[in-house]
Structure 1
Amino acid sequence: MKPIVTEKPQHMESLNIGSNYGQNFGFILYRLAHVNKFKHLKLTGGASGRGVILVDHKEVGVVDNNEDYNQDLNDSQFANTTTHTLDIIVENTGRPRIGDEINSARKGLNGDISIDTKVATNIQTFPLEFKEPFVKQLSELKGKPFIEGIKSPAVYRFELDIKDS
């Protein structure tokens, strides 16, 4: 899957996909690849939805409100590599059904991603809509066996045989 690269994080609805309406459900993954080890992460405005923060594919935090998110990190949270990957995967946990927010609610990160006070740019964004083409693409992948104890987000596929009783 090829990412959409944006200067700053975009809400799902602002992505240039679909028929000029962006993404309206599912998950959105924001990625900063090849970053140096850092001590502080700030997400200005937090997230609309629930966001899982991963460093080198390990969960280091969760953001689930529209307030600034700040987190200090230590060396043990990074893989033993020269550069690192920061992933923030945000789930659209639902939309308002009534009230003033019905036409203005947006899902995803609400502002800048800052690493050690420097605002990150060139955000790799992956819309995970779970529409038919995306699901078909997933079904064509060769999976890996389930590993107990994995603590990062994953998509699982299984077959369920229900026999008559």
Structure 2
Amino acid sequence: MNVLKSCKKAKSVKRVVLTSSCSSIRYRYDVQQIDPLNESHWSDTEYCKQYNLWYAYAKTVAEKEAWSVANESGINLVVVNPSYVVGPLLAPQPTSTIQKILEYVNGSVEEYPNMAVGFVHIDDVVAAHILAMEKKEAAGRLICSSTVAHWSDVIQMLKSKYPSYPIVDK
């Protein structure tokens, strides 16, 4: 909110590109009836609260508030909604995404989710942000995802690559 309010004050900012998440799109009671989900869909905050999906809840609330401030202020906002981001780390500490995969690899969780999830490489996320900033026709929310895989397939791939690790198996 501070960034958006500062952009409004500056009056010279042409566009703001915000990183949100597919988590602000996919968590809803009716998700099984919608195929495919798209940029018009929003996660249901009550669903997120019911299932303790606090990351998705926070991303949904924050993005909706950003849209509200941008619309009230006349700011040209473009939002990139990446799915599960993988690839080399850009920061010195593991991201929450990498932490979750590490939990599966080191055996610190008992089971993986029975669901498919979208994955996207960090290089593609960076490229999406650059395009969202530079392309005049970029607008609204932009899902950034590449491959969809069930967690069971991801776990099997990790097991074959790292057979000596205590990778979760259910």
TM-score when scaled to structure 1?
Answer: 0.25
- Judging by fraction of residues, say which structure has more helix: 2
* Greater RCO, 1 or 2 (C-alpha within 8 Å, sep 6+): 1
- Judging by fraction of residues, say which structure has more strand: 1
